[in-house]
């Protein structure tokens, strides 16, 4: 939980932005940032005071929502169960979750994955990630561990869990092929899909 705190020191009120969490079955402050006096905060909001030297901009909402859905589906655990590896660095499931979330938000090449990743809330969830860990070769190494038969097994497990968790009734599933694009009405002779 994050909150704004006011502290009295020698008759002056100072404000802090702090994060609290359960530690050893007690709520404790795990992080805080000094904001200043009320006048300092008002001046900062209205643009008064010196210009900041630097700023960090993070994308929080969408990456957090997608990470929560991946956690809810136990995506990382499902992948890691089928693609075990030594306890060293990020797991195969974590690499694939990062890649999937990136594709949903802001598709990047594997080479520039760190540039995107470090601006998201995913840094909090995966503190072991680093520029070296998220280079393109590490992604390809982990993606090579997912053979076609393994991908099929992961997919089946994920679908089975989603159907169970969401209570999806499969008794009336149908297929609508009206949007199936076959090139039938063109002079395209290269496409053999409809044959």
Task: Spell out the per-residue pLDDT of the chain, length 195, in tens.
Answer: 778 888 888 888 998 888 888 888 888 888 888 888 888 888 777 776 677 777 665 567 889 999 999 999 999 999 999 988 877 889 999 999 999 999 998 888 888 899 899 888 898 899 889 999 999 888 888 888 889 999 999 999 999 998 898 888 888 777 766 655 555 556 666 666 655
* DSSP, res 87: S
Residues 82, 152, 112, 87, Cα dihedral to 10°? 0
The whole-model pTM stands at 0.59
Half-sphere exposure of 16 (CA within 13 A, CB side): 14
């Amino acid at each position: 939980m994050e909150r704004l705190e006011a502290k009295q020191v020698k008759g002056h009120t100072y404000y802090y932005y702090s994060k609290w969490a359960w530690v050893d079955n007690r709520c404790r402050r795990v992080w805080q940032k000094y904001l200043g006096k009320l006048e300092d905060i008002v001046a900062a909001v209205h643009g008064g005071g010196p210009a900041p030297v630097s700023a960090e901009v993070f994308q929080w909402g969408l990456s957090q929502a997608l990470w929560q859905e991946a956690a809810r589906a136990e995506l990382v655990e499902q992948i890691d169960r089928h693609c075990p590896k030594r306890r060293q660095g990020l797991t195969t499931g974590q690499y694939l979750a990062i890649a999937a979330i990136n594709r949903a938000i802001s598709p990047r090449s594997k080479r520039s994955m760190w540039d995107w990743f470090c601006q998201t809330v995913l840094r909090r969830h995966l503190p072991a990630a680093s520029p070296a860990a998220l280079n393109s070769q590490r992604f390809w190494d982990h993606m090579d561990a997912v053979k076609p038969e393994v991908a099929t097994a992961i997919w089946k497990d994920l679908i089975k869990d989603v159907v169970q968790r969401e209570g999806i009734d499969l008794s009336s599933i149908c297929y609508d092929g009206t949007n199936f694009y076959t090139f039938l009405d063109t002079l395209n002779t290269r496409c053999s899909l409809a044959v």
